[in-house]
Structure 1
Amino acid sequence: MIPTWPTELPRPERNTWQKSPQESRLKRRTDAGPNGYRGRFSSVAELVNLSILVDRNGKAIFDNFHRYSVKRGSKPFMMPDPTTDGWALLTSAGEPLLTSGGVPILLAARWLCLFGDQQPSEAIVGVEFRISFSVAVMP
């Protein structure tokens, strides 16, 4: 069974969010002019840098998940896509789309991830902990 990101942890911070595609090109040297490129493979992971701000309990939840559930980052896991999951579905006018009961319809999206090359790092911010990490989102 694939471990799932703990629901008790907060959404990643917006100000540290960075995403880029994995390099999928192979450089070709040329005799003159700029280098050329060709595709190395057709399917690439998205590399995402994230951080979360947690209290002492949240740090323990993250540490337990990283250490035991994903074996210090060696196993894949499912994580809600923080740019989509839980956000309201909007009309073309930007208004939330509602059910017949007046409740907003929420989007759902999940990622299959692996922790990135660097192990998570943490910094103390007042009485909280900022845990920074990267994930590779599988295609």
Structure 2
Amino acid sequence: MTVPMWPASLPRPERSTYQLIPAEARLKRRTDAGSPTYRLRFSGVPKLVTLSIMVTRAGKSVFDLFHQIDTRWGALPFTMPDPTTDGWPMTDGAGNPLFDGAGNPLLMSGTWLCLFGDQQPAETIIGKEFRKTFSITVLP
């Protein structure tokens, strides 16, 4: 079975609604007195991410078909470009962009293996566009 890929025709997630929270990887130990102590519950810590995208009516159909058919209503994992890394320019230590021999900027790339979150994607109509808000779990 191949893992579905996030449709390339969908826009990048909105920056204003992006939120990442690492899953709780600690397990609190019982103590008789004093401050609490913790141990790791697991070594690979998933990330819980909330995202939204603004799409046209055609983009809404692409998203809906991807969610409903490709990931079977969010039950199957999928890959998507990491919105914090993929397509961003590489820079040197001073923050200056790096270029290849032809003068093109070097871009970073990154991919996440994800599952849709516990709640189904929400949809809001704004003018003639649709805002799709959803959560994903980025697998370690």
TM-score, normalised to structure 1, is 0.94
- Residue 119 of structure 1 corresponds to which residue in structure 2? 120
SS in 2 for 1:114: strand
AA aligned to 1:52 is I
SS in 2 for 1:101: coil
- Residue 72 of structure 2 corresponds to which residue in structure 1? 71
Determine the C-alpha separation between the residues in 2 that align with 1:105 and 1:3: 27
SS in 2 for 1:136: strand
SS in 2 for 1:130: strand
AA aligned to 1:131 is K
Determine the C-alpha separation between the residues in 1 that align with 2:50 and 2:67: 16
Determine the C-alpha separation between the residues in 2 that align with 1:71 and 1:38: 36
Determine the C-alpha separation between the residues in 2 that align with 1:132 and 1:34: 39
Determine the C-alpha separation between the residues in 1 that align with 2:71 and 2:123: 18
Displacement of 1:125: 1.1
- Residue 53 of structure 1 corresponds to which residue in structure 2? 54
Displacement of 1:117: 0.8
AA aligned to 2:90 is L
Tell me, which stretches of 5 or more residues in structure 1 are unaligned?
A: none
Tell me, which stretches of 5 or more residues in structure 2 are unaligned?
A: none
Aligned residues: 139
More off after superposition, 108-117 vs 25-34: 25-34
Determine the C-alpha separation between the residues in 2 that align with 1:50 and 1:138: 16
Deviations 1:43-98 (A, max 9, x none): 11011110001111110000000000000000000100001001111122322211
SS in 2 for 1:57: helix
Percent of aligned positions that are identical: 58
- Residue 13 of structure 1 corresponds to which residue in structure 2? 14
TM-score, normalised to structure 2, is 0.94
AA aligned to 1:36 is T
Displacement of 1:100: 1.2
CA RMSD of aligned residues (A): 1.2
Deviations 1:91-110 (A, max 9, x none): 22322211111111111100
Runs of 4+ in structure 1 off by over 6 angstroms are none
